[in-house]
Amino acid sequence: MEARFLKPYSTLRYFPEGIRNCYNLNVEKGINHLIRAWFIYGNYDGQDKDPRFDLYLGPNPWATIDLYRLENGTRKEVIHKPTSNSLQICLVKTGETTPMISALEIRPMGDNDSYITQSGSLNLYFRVYLTESTKYIRYPNDVYDRQWIAFFWREWTQISTSSDVGTSNNYELPKAALATAAIPTNASAPLTIVWTNSDNPDAQYYVYRHFAEIQDLQNNETREFNMLWNGDVMSANPVIPNKLDISTFYSESPRTCDGGDCTFQLKRTNRSTLPPLLNALEVFTAIQFPQSETNETDVVAIRNIEATYELSRINWQGDPCVPLHLRWDALNCSNTDASTPPRITSLNLSSSGLTGNIAAAIQNLTQLEKLDLSNNNLTGEVPEFLGNIKSLLFINLSGNDLNGTIPQSLQRKGGLQLLRQGNSRLFPSESPTKPTSKSFPVVIVASVGSAAILLIVVVVLILFLRKKKPTNEVFLPRPSRPTMNVPYVNSPEPSIEMKKRKFTYLEVTKMTNNFGRVVGEGGFGVVCHGTVNGSEQVAVKLLSQSSTQGYKEFKAEVDLLLRVHHTNLVSLVGYCDEGDHLALIYEFVPNGDLRQHLSGKGGKPIVNWGTRLRIAVEAALGLEYLHIGCTPPMVHRDVKTTNILLDEHYKAKLADFGLSRSFPVGGETHVSTVIAGTPGYLDPEYYQTSRLGEKSDVYSFGIVLLEMISNQAVIDRNRIKSHITQWVGSELNGGDIASIMDPKLNGDYDSRSAWRALELAMSCADPTSAKRPTMSHVVIELKECLVSENSMRNMGRGMDSPNFPEVSMILDNEMIPRAR
């Protein structure tokens, strides 16, 4: 690299405040952009602590920047097509070190048909042109500022031309990249390039191959060759390069490699007299950015509200709604699925020092359900547009200095709760004075009295009809339940009878073939296998008369699972709530529970250490979603190995939500409840105080981790140290992890990942909740354990990925192909 290219990377910007810091870039929607970020630490702060943090593109993770592992610096490059006219590149703090960036470059690539993918974007793996030179090519020689690295191998011979090579196709390669080419020195041998992607062995590749014939061929000479991918021919017709003109080949669908080992070959045909040649090669991995950005109208609206009130909040950066753990404070959003843009449904700017009028931009939040502007210094009148937001159900304007009258549009709006206390000059009707008539409360009292009488009549009638009910039913009567299904106090959830996905008892009988196949049994009752729509397998959980759980637990599980959706939570297909018949219909998870795969009971295979770590990550993701992705947040309360189910691909799904409870957010971190859970997994602090919080689940998850590590019983009265935490603690004094690890693993594990997982488990199971990590931290730690384990296995197979030399700086993330 010439000196002029070094200067931009000799400075940096760092972000000591906040979790997410973002650059907001103006882009052109719908066309490809080359986005490149550089990270070179250089011990700028004198702390000698190489940073580690996450890089996000909009609401989606792009890469993890680990400058401890890549100590010479790294760059990340992607070709991406934005879905809106703005784009955020965000640095997200994930640990103790400070995120930083050396340079950020973005280049529009024009409205053409280059770099097309089946789905997702293109993450650069490597880009080379084949030459013995060391020259580095970028802008102005490349109009899109792609960076071409000189690459050559000793088994090759270079050919070159001084003639002008045509580059007029959609890719517009620099002419210098096509003026040279490599051919195999052994003319009968194929030209072979191999690489190993041990970090991502399941990667999908898009390979762009650029050819130009740069030799003068004699009449009796022919150059013709096939392209092979891992031994398979890539196209039906052989390649005959165009004379002094570019030809670019690519596949419309991505390709994969077996175990991360990739082989690309050019092999001459039988009729060819000359060996194959290659001028330039670009290899990308497919990267998915599945999470849709928040609805653009909502984003503009909330930005205008922010500007109107001159708000300065450190976390109001990046996408307002997603990802969930980085959602802006003061907001709630609808998050149905990743492909649907989230909408802002709640805005809470209470006690935010707001002045002036109610911001007009609020009317553009057309899906808003809750608006809290209380305890500010707002003045002026209540605007008419609030009544025109059809979804709005709750408005809190109390504690301001608003005046005038409540608009008719708000007064006529059915189902709206409007709080306005503390606005002495604000009146409820068009009249400028407060009404003095006493008739209004009298009407309310009379109405309530009539309703009470009517309610008593209805209850008596129901009881009378129940006595007449026939008793020759297959399903045993359930424990007592309320006559009326009343939702939780202050809960926005309607009663379960108002929900969808409700099955009749006759339908449940048919789907289970009259409960013919019992696949399990728990505290709720038996679990039967069934099918819905003739093909979808389901598990039907029936409430028995002798069940220790009752209608309250049944309703809790239905109410929770009807409003949460996560790939690592067992999904609810439906439920039955008919007379004395209660049933929950779940997706069928065929591989049983984790406990069976640790013990080997029921003929289940013992899962290896890598699979255990992946299962732990997935279960932790499910818990993390309950803690920070739900509104209100939820505590599972019964996390244990028998409640972690495995599907046909051994993907973990957290199950059994009958004991789950919501917990407060804000200043409070716990809620008082009756003690519930499973002995051994039960948080000792919760047991002593009855104060339930998310850290209670963290404790239980720590016990699960210890089980996965050791395969020891949680409570074993035959041990001197009966509880698993006590036993592990005593074994740790010896300093030998082998005495703790499950002997059924036969020593097949990476000791670094095992030690890290063990330390994490013990920190989760700390008796003091304040010392336990959050589930988000647990997820991060477990993912790093999994990376360590996978790296060990890859090295065990002889894999390597040497660094790709780049100019005068060595960037550790550059991947180098190898000739063979």
Report the distance separating Cα 364 and Cα 385, nearest Å: 10
Strand order in the sheet with 417-419: 331-334, 343-348, 370-372, 394-396, 417-419
Cα–Cα distances (Å) from 50 to 7, 18, 96, 780, in that order, read: 21, 19, 11, 17
The three-class DSSP label of residue 536 is: strand
DSSP 199-254: S-TT-EEEEEEEE-B-S---TT--B-EEEEETTEESSSS-B-PPBTB-EEE--SS-
DSSP characters over 116-153: --SSSEEEEEEEEEE-SS---B-TTTSTT---BEEE--
370 is in an annotated binding site: no
Measured between alpha carbons, how far is 737 from 745 in angstroms, rounded to an integer? 13
Least Cα distance to 627 among 645, 612, 639, 642 occurs for 639
**What are 754's two structure tokens?**
């095992």
In the numeric block, which tokens belong to residue 423?
């606005």
Identify the helix (H) or strand (E) that includes residue 642: none
d(CA 86, CA 477): 59
- Partners of 803 in the beta sheet? 815
Please state, in angstroms and rounded to a whole number, the distance separating the CA atoms of residues 818 and 170: 28
Of the candidates 745, 783, 740, which has an alpha carbon nearest to the alpha carbon of residue 762? Answer: 740
Q: How far apart are CA 397 and CA 382, in angstroms?
A: 9
Active site annotation includes 638:
yes
Question: Which of 54, 298, 372, 638 does the annotation list as catalytic?
Answer: 638
From CA 653, how far away is CA 644, in angstroms rounded? 6
Q: Which residues pair with 394 in a beta bridge?
A: 370, 417
Give exposure, 697-727, as e/b (b: 16+ Cβ within 10 Å): bbbbbbbbbbbbbbbbbbeeeeeeeebbbeb
User: Which residues 6+ apart lie within 8 Å of 104 measured at CB?
Assistant: 23, 35, 36, 37, 38, 89
Phi-psi map region of 747: left, alpha, beta (phi>0 left; psi -120 to 50 alpha): left
What are the helix (H) ranges across 765-803? 775-796
CB 573 within 8 A of CB 538: yes
Strand partners, 425: 403
Phi first, then psi, for residue 513 (nearest 5°) are: 55, 50
Separation between Cα atoms, residue 585 and residue 541, nearest integer Å:
6
Which tokens go with 597? 């795969």
**Which residues neighbour 633 within 8 Å (Cβ) at sequence distance 6 or greater?**
626, 627, 662, 663, 665, 694
Give Cβ neighbours of residue 588 (< 8 Å, ≥ 6 apart).
Answer: 529, 537, 538, 539
Residue ranges of the annotated binding site are: 541
Residue ranges of the annotated binding site for ATP are: 541
Catalytic residues: 638
